[in-house]
């Protein structure tokens, strides 16, 4: 490829290239799509186009397009496989929903309603628990820990985020759930007058509250690592200015870091919420499922999430049952899609960086 | 105990952030309440001695700062408790069954809690093989696609509308729940190859849906930090664009891309739900990725967990262990955690060792 230009005399090739570059310079922004190159578009400055080049370009574009195709295919194939449950005869589908829900639901929305409710409640509860602790940890790492400890802690947080959910589930079901019964029992005894904590607390507490705690532990590192990065990016000058004006350390954080990181914190928690909404194994292994719209967090068999329900029912479901489960999966997909889209929107608008 | 700590953190943070100003500038904040009072009360000639901070006020602010430091430290301690507990239990309960026999035998011929002829109580050889093959399949699909997509985004279409749409969708795709990816692979194979298909490659497809966005995002970041000078120098020498990308840009960004891929592997290697419904579960070793079910480590952990315990007949003798499924589950979990942690370590090590050269 490069040989062709070498074999022709160098004196011939050079002026052409220089001429093209200067032409690019004289018309700034004319050819170049990229602002970083000051309008220089080097795609014209090469000695001729080669077929290898074209193939490479085409493959790159194709792989980019493949992302679109893949996402489209996810929706398409889920719809195709879920279709029988919408198109099938009424009597048959309602029988499927009745068998899946233990006779409680007879239509799709009747079936998916409590599941959506459970998914949203558990994920929101997890976020409420995790958010403040996660931000606290991020603040501790960026503003209170020493430099050497900082790197260790950063590594630990990333490790926490990498631990597989099935291990969180295993630990949650065998260690955390039995260990927290006294606490839940105490809560239901002393705060039982609040409907949310109405007793008696289930023993073992395979409840919405326990599932939310497990999910909170799982999403905490995600929020921490993202907010930590934003806190670390807080302008140094702002911090120093605040301290110079006599602000205490907390006032400095409150005045500089928190407002700066606000949009980042929101979008991090949205992403974590998306993760919590789709989490399967930990919820399935900890929660005792139920199909009701119940706010009693400390009682067993009240709620179930979409993802856990799919994984739990899937092995025993017949063909039409699988269609029904895939239809609920589509609903989950839509919910997480919206949440993630919102998270990205907020990041872009806030422009923390 | 833990829960009450969290409550404290919550309430105190909520209280203290309440009077938070909308603006960032620290100057306006410190003078804000003061000027407001001054303009109302004192009129045009403010009495500046009024604003001299009293000792009590200074003390109060100092204390507040200290209390918040305590609360933040407490949040940190609370967050560390589950991590330490998780790692400790997994190691403590996992080492009990973790031995060479456990690693080199599969679960065929295991009856209840009885010891197998090999002397152990079954093992995870088949699950390790399954995990490696399924993950390898996912790597082979997602690394080329993800890398080429990243090259398109950074080298060919910086800022075009199509590229913007792609990068948005990549971001959204990274939030797809793993179970939906599993359902997708299941539907795809059920529709294209007939119902009842279950093999390792199906699991690879599901995992690659989860892996591609991670690969794209990390590669894009790495390709962006390659200095433009390098590209321009290469073009000035008359090298074609594709050759420049392969020989100059990719070679420069390679360490970062490799570490990104390793971290992506570490993420998907622990996925359970999508494999539960695609790759399935068997007790014997299956080397063929494209035919027959395959057990993976996370699925093995879950399956053994859901068995919980087996019953030992009264005449079984001391060799029969009733709690063997739970013990196998912890041992497999320990192996899985070890794999994930080692992958993470390698990823970060690669990043650290080679990243100096790119700058």
Q: What is this model's ipTM?
A: 0.80
* Distance (Å) from the alpha carbon of A103 to chain B's nearest alpha carbon: 25
| Per-residue pLDDT at A40 | 56
Q: Provide the pLDDT for residue B30.
A: 46
The CA distance from B149 to B220, in Å, is 9
Check CB contact under 8 Å for B238 and A5.
Answer: yes
On whether the CB atoms of residues A78 and B180 are closer than 8 A, the answer is yes
Of residues B21 and A349, more confidently modeled: A349
Per-residue pLDDT at A301: 81
CB pair distance less than 8 Å for A337 and B78: no
d(CA A121, CA A283): 13
Out of A22-31, A203-212, B84-93, B120-129, which region has the weakest mean confidence (pLDDT)? A22-31
Residues across chain A: 353
Please calculate the CA angle A310-A313-A316 and round it to the nearest 5 degrees. Answer: 140
Name every chain A residue with its beta carbon within 8 A of the beta carbon of B8: none
pLDDT of residue B41: 54
CA atoms of A353 and B18, how far apart (whole Å): 25
Nearest to A81 among B2, B61, B191 (CB): B191
Residue A300: beta bridge partners? Answer: A207
Which of A140, A173, A251 lies nearest to residue B73, judging by beta carbons?
A: A140
From the list A226, A167, A141, A162, the residue with the least C-alpha distance to B345 is: A162
Q: Which of B266, B269, B271, B268 is nearest to B344 (CA)?
A: B266
Q: Looking at residues A57-85, what average pLDDT do you find? A: 89
Residue A215 confidence (pLDDT):
93
Q: Which helix (H) or strand (E) holds A237?
A: helix A236-244
Cβ of A133 within 8 Å of Cβ of B75? The answer is yes
Decide if A70 and B336 are in contact by the 8 Å CB cutoff.
Answer: no
- Number of CB atoms found within 10 A of residue A311's CB: 25
CA distance to A77, A185, B145, B198, B346, per residue, from B342 (Å)? 36, 40, 25, 30, 6
Give the length of chain B: 359
Q: Does the predicted model carry a pTM greater than 0.90?
A: no
Confidence of residue A220 (pLDDT cuts 50, 70, 90): very high
pLDDT for A30 equals: 37
Q: What is the mean pLDDT of each run of 10 residues along chain B (359 residues)?
A: 45 44 46 50 67 80 90 90 90 87 83 78 88 92 92 84 86 87 90 85 91 91 88 88 88 87 88 88 85 89 86 77 86 92 87 62
Is B232 touching A (CB cutoff 8 A)? yes
Which one is predicted more confidently, A35 or A134? A134
Return the residue of A nearest to B268 by Cα.
A164
Is some CB atom of chain A closer than 8 A to the CB atom of B227?
no
Say yes or no for a CB contact (<8 Å) between A167 and B329.
no
Q: Which of B259, B330, B187, B163 is nearest to A76 (CA)?
A: B187
The pLDDT value given to residue B112:
76
pLDDT at B355: 63
Among B25, B69, B180, pick the best mutation site for testing chain A contact (most A Cβ within 10 A). B180
Q: Residue B3 has what pLDDT?
A: 46
User: Any idea which of A107-116, A129-138, B20-29, B79-88 has the lowest mean pLDDT?
Assistant: B20-29
Q: Using CB atoms, which residue from B146, B156, B180 is nearest to A61?
A: B156
**A22 has a pLDDT exceeding 50:** no
Span A4-28, mean pLDDT?
38
Task: Give per-residue pLDDT as tens, A325-336.
Answer: 999 999 999 999
User: Cα angle vertex B82, ends B77, B88, to 5°?
Assistant: 115
B-chain residues near A55 (CB < 8 A) = 242
Q: If you measure CA to CA, which chain A residue comes closest to B227?
A: A36
Contact status, residue A207 vs residue A298, Cβ threshold 8 Å: yes
Q: ∠A343-A347-A352 over CA atoms, to 5°?
A: 150
Q: Is pLDDT above 50 for A308?
A: yes
pLDDT bracket for residue A27 (50, 70, 90): very low
Is residue A16 pLDDT above 70, yes or no?
no
Using CB atoms, which residue from B24, B65, B72 is nearest to A259? B24
A207, β-bridge pairs: A300
pLDDT band at A41 (very low <50, low <70, confident <90, very high): low
């Amino acid at each position: 490829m490069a040989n062709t230009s070498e074999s022709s005399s160098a004196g011939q090739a050079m002026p052409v290239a220089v001429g093209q570059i200067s032409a690019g310079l004289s018309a700034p922004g004319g050819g170049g799509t990229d602002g970083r190159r000051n309008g220089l578009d080097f795609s014209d400055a090469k000695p001729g186009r080669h077929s290898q080049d074209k193939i490479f370009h085409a493959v790159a574009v194709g792989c980019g397009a493949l992302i679109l195709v893949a996402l489209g295919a996810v929706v398409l194939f889920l719809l195709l496989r879920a279709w029988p449950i919408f198109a099938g005869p009424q009597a048959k589908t309602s029988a499927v929903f009745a068998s899946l829900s233990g006779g409680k639901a007879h239509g799709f929305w009747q079936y998916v309603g409590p599941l959506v409710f459970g998914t949203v409640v558990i994920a929101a509860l997890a976020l409420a628990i995790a958010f403040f602790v996660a931000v606290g940890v991020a603040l501790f790492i960026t503003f209170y820990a020493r430099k050497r400890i900082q790197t260790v802690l950063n590594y630990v947080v990333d490790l926490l985020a990498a631990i597989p959910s099935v291990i969180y589930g295993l630990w949650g079901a065998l260690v955390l759930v039995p260990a927290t019964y006294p606490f839940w029992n105490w809560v239901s005894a002393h705060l039982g007058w609040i409907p949310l904590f109405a007793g008696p607390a289930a023993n073992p507490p395979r409840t919405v509250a326990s599932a939310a705690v497990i999910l909170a532990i799982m999403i905490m590192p995600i929020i921490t690592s993202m907010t930590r990065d934003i806190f670390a990016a807080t302008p140094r000058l702002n911090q120093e200015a605040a301290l110079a004006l006599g602000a205490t350390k907390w006032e400095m954080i409150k005045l500089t870091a928190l407002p700066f990181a606000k949009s980042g914190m929101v979008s991090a928690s949205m992403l974590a919420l998306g993760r919590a909404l789709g989490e399967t194994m930990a919820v399935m292994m900890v929660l005792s499922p139920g199909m009701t719209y119940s706010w009693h967090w400390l009682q067993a068999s009240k709620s179930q999430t979409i993802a856990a329900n799919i994984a739990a029912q899937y092995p025993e479901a017949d063909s039409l049952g699988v269609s029904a489960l895939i239809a609920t999966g589509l609903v989950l997909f839509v919910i997480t899609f919206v949440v993630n889209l919102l998270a990205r929107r907020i990041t872009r608008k806030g422009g923390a960086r | 105990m833990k829960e009450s700590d969290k409550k404290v953190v919550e309430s105190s943070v909520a209280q203290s952030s309440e009077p938070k100003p909308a603006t960032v500038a620290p100057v306006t904040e410190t003078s804000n309440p003061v000027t407001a009072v001054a303009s109302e009360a004192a009129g045009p000639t403010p009495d500046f001695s009024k604003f001299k901070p009293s000792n009590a006020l200074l003390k109060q602010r100092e204390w507040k700062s200290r209390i918040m430091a305590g609360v933040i430290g407490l949040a940190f301690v609370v967050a560390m408790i589950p991590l330490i507990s998780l790692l400790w239990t997994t190691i403590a309960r996992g080492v009990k069954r973790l031995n060479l026999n456990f690693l080199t035998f599969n679960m065929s011929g295991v009856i209840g809690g009885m010891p197998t002829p090999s002397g152990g109580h079954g093992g995870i050889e088949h699950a390790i093989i399954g995990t490696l093959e399924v993950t390898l399949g996912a790597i082979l699909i997602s690394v080329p696609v993800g890398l080429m997509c990243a090259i398109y985004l950074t080298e060919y279409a910086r800022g075009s509308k199509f590229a913007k749409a792609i990068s948005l969708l990549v971001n959204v795709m990274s939030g797809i729940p793993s179970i939906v990816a599993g359902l997708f692979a299941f539907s795809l194979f059920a529709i294209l190859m007939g119902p009842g298909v279950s093999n390792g490659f199906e699991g690879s497809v599901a995992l690659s849906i989860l892996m591609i966005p991670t690969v794209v995002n990390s590669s894009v970041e790495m390709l962006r930090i390659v200095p433009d000078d390098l590209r321009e120098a290469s073009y000035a020498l008359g090298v074609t664009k594709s050759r420049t990308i392969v020989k100059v840009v990719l070679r420069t960004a390679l360490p970062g891309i490799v570490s990104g891929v390793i971290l992506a592997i570490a993420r998907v290697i622990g996925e359970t739900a999508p494999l539960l419904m695609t790759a399935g579960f068997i007790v014997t070793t299956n080397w063929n990725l494209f035919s027959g079910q395959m057990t993976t480590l996370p699925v093995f952990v879950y399956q053994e967990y859901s068995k919980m315990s087996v019953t030992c007949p009264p005449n079984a003798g001391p060799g029969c262990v009733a709690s063997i499924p739970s013990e196998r589950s912890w041992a497999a979990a320990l192996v899985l955690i070890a794999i994930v942690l080692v992958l993470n370590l390698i990823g970060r090590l690669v990043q650290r060792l080679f990243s100096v050269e790119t700058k």
